[in-house]
Structure 1
Amino acid sequence: MHFLTHNTAPCDSTFSPLYSVVFGCILALGLPLNAVSLWTLLRHHSLKSPSAVFMVNLAVSDLLLVVSLPMRVYYYATGTWPLGNLVCNLITMLFHNNIRSSAFFITFISVDRLLAVVYPLRSRHLRTSSNAWKAAALVWLLVLVINIPESMHFSKFLKELNGSSCFPKTPHRSPLHYIQPVLMFSMLAVNMVCTALVSWTLSRRLNDSARVNNKVNVMLIFFLNLVMFIICFLPLSVGILSTNIHVRPLICLASVNCCLDPLLYYFCLDAFWKKKEDVDLPGEQQLKDIRSPCVGLE
């Protein structure tokens, strides 16, 4: 009887060991990577750099997603949901918050790198930790404001399931989901423009040996940003608008971003591991001493 219950109770195929394994792997990678990243950023940096501020918030966003994954692992491994609609709603909102906040913070890091490299003198009054914290606070506020109508809409959807399921196979859509693809495509465009301008500026201002190293790093970071937007963020943002698509594979892809984000810090390994007492270089010296595409951690 127990075997029959597992195969007949969840009409939405909640018993999915493959998804349990996938989310378990994401949890096993994402938790230590982001915990170590957050610890290193807080220990080795004074958070006077805008990039460091955005990276700390990005790591926090990823950790909030990671702590919600154990229940997804349990749900897909057993096919049952014992915690009720409130916890299901909370875990779902944590996932949506991560997608939105991560996209914003990655874009802010790209814009900060653009200002530091292309407009180092004119942007000094803008590139402050105070402004970075204000921008981060605005992102979190926006995410929380979106949560209110979205969680209410999702609660009504969960009531129709009578507490028997949590993460549906078919997409749950709210009116806000129609705005998300526009935001994601817009932020992808901003990242591409920022990376192109930074690469062009470095190729003009650096000598030949430094130019090769920095352009390689810039293209690696650009490739990583491109991967996260095109593979992690965009498919789910567009997929939820379809009535027939199964969203679980897209949710798996989107969750992988918490494992990729730490690579943004490790590509700037020297700046990431070394504590810097003086964040910004003065005036013209800043133009001469650019050593890394992640300017602002140095």
Structure 2
Amino acid sequence: MVNDTMNTTYAVVFGSVMALGLPLNAVSLWILLRCHSIKSPSAVFMVNLAISDLLLVISLPMRIYFYATSSWPLSNMACIWITMLFRNNIRSSSIFITFISVDRLLAVVYPLRSRHLRISSNAWKAAALIWLFVLVVNIPESVYFSKFLNNNTEHSCFEFKERRKSYMSYFQSVLVLTMLAVNIVCTALVSWTLHRHLNDSAKVKNKVNVMLIFVTNLMMFTIFFLPLSLLIFFETWKTSPTPLICLASVNCCLDPLLYYFSFDGFWKRKEDVDTSLARE
């Protein structure tokens, strides 16, 4: 009875995330592509972040079905692929968010020296490498997970038990902690720069929005990514990770806040944004 109640709760949470995340990220992606020239590194990383969130949303219908019916109608491989889509979101999102923080750090602290680095072509190359890295990691992890799924995944998909901790558990935790540390350093340096050069910092448009970007990034890590990553690191799935998986999935609904804080006039027409980017 308790399991039925919990499964229903999980289905409701995932359903709510899908209902909010799909339109928010689809509209955000449309605005980023239509109204903003993809000439700044931050815009490039935000487009890829929105794509990552949409891939997460795509994986949710089958999770909803599994927890609503307590059954899995598809194959083991389908279960693994959908699990990978979710894990890929945490990894790719944490990296893209960190790259956004680093880009903002360079723009505020080293605006002149970083101009040759902060170009869209470099950002697209970095994004391609991130996706390649994420996909390569899926190969050994998929093989590992396949060992712990029962031949009949009807009641075990998303709730299978690992008998021992894998190196991938350490990898995800180390990745998230490393990205969090980079975000903390970026936040501290930007805050120090704006405080130290108070008069000069008036040249930085919307200083409050600049810091809100970093605060939002840190919130994403500490609330959504870190708890699940620490549980995976310290536990061998003895404690069900599903509640924290639900929590982690909510990040895709809040990423549009990052887009809003990152651009002056998020709803501006493309030609207006091109002018502001040219001045940056």
| 2:171 aligned partner, one-letter code | I
Measured in 2, the distance between the counterparts of 1:142 and 1:208 equals: 39
Measured in 1, the distance between the counterparts of 2:243 and 2:203 equals: 40
Q: Tell me the C-alpha RMSD between the 2 structures.
A: 2.4
Displacement of 1:165 after TM fit? 2.2
The answer on 1:183 being equivalent to 2:180 is no
Q: Which residue of 2 aligns with 1:36?
A: 27
Measured in 2, the distance between the counterparts of 1:162 and 1:252 equals: 21
Do the aligned residues in 1 keep the contact of 2:76 with 2:151 (CA within 8 Å)?
no
Displacement of 1:119 after TM fit? 0.5
Measured in 2, the distance between the counterparts of 1:268 and 1:63 equals: 20
Q: Which residue of 1 aligns with 2:221?
A: 229
Question: Cα 1:15–1:231, aligned 2, differ >3 Å: closer, same or farther?
Answer: closer
Q: Which residue of 1 aligns with 2:50?
A: 59
Question: Cα 1:167–1:67, aligned 2, differ >3 Å: closer, same or farther?
Answer: same
Do the aligned residues in 1 keep the contact of 2:210 with 2:261 (CA within 8 Å)?
no
Measured in 1, the distance between the counterparts of 2:214 and 2:89 equals: 20
TM-score, normalising length: structure 2:
0.89
Question: Cα 1:35–1:264, aligned 2, differ >3 Å: closer, same or farther?
Answer: same
- Which residue of the other structure, out of 187, 192, 197, is the alignment partner of 1:195? 187
| 1:240 aligned partner, one-letter code | I
Displacement of 1:219 after TM fit? 3.7
Larger mean Cα displacement after TM superposition, 200-209 or 90-99? 200-209
Do the aligned residues in 2 keep the contact of 1:30 with 1:258 (CA within 8 Å)?
yes
Structure 1 runs not aligned, ≥5 long? 1-6, 287-298
Measured in 1, the distance between the counterparts of 2:263 and 2:110 equals: 24
Displacement of 1:63 after TM fit? 0.1
Do the aligned residues in 1 keep the contact of 2:97 with 2:217 (CA within 8 Å)?
yes
Q: Which residue of 2 aligns with 1:294?
A: none
Question: Cα 1:79–1:231, aligned 2, differ >3 Å: closer, same or farther?
Answer: same
The number of residues matched between the two structures is: 272
| 1:31 aligned partner, one-letter code | L
Measured in 2, the distance between the counterparts of 1:57 and 1:208 equals: 32
Q: Which residue of 2 aligns with 1:261?
A: 255
Question: Cα 1:269–1:127, aligned 2, differ >3 Å: closer, same or farther?
Answer: closer
Do the aligned residues in 2 keep the contact of 1:171 with 1:240 (CA within 8 Å)?
no
Measured in 1, the distance between the counterparts of 2:162 and 2:239 equals: 7
1:1-298 to 2 correspondence within 5 Å? 16-159=7-150, 162-168=153-159, 170=161, 173-205=165-197, 207=199, 214-241=206-233, 242-243=235-236, 244-268=238-262, 270-274=264-268, 275=270, 276-278=273-275, 279-281=277-279
Question: Cα 1:170–1:260, aligned 2, differ >3 Å: closer, same or farther?
Answer: farther
Displacement of 1:259 after TM fit? 0.8
Measured in 1, the distance between the counterparts of 2:205 and 2:49 equals: 26
Displacement of 1:86 after TM fit? 1.7
Question: Cα 1:64–1:111, aligned 2, differ >3 Å: closer, same or farther?
Answer: same
Measured in 2, the distance between the counterparts of 1:169 and 1:16 equals: 14
Secondary structure class of the residue paired with 1:157: coil
Measured in 1, the distance between the counterparts of 2:4 and 2:151 equals: 16
> Sequence identity of aligned pairs in percent?
69
Measured in 2, the distance between the counterparts of 1:177 and 1:256 equals: 21
Measured in 1, the distance between the counterparts of 2:51 and 2:118 equals: 21
Measured in 1, the distance between the counterparts of 2:153 and 2:243 equals: 24
Measured in 1, the distance between the counterparts of 2:39 and 2:203 equals: 27
Structure of greater Rg: 1
Question: Cα 1:212–1:269, aligned 2, differ >3 Å: closer, same or farther?
Answer: closer
Structure 2 runs not aligned, ≥5 long? none
Measured in 2, the distance between the counterparts of 1:15 and 1:245 equals: 14
Do the aligned residues in 2 keep the contact of 1:169 with 1:247 (CA within 8 Å)?
no
Q: Which residue of 2 aligns with 1:292?
A: none
Displacement of 1:130 after TM fit? 0.6
| 1:261 aligned partner, one-letter code | D
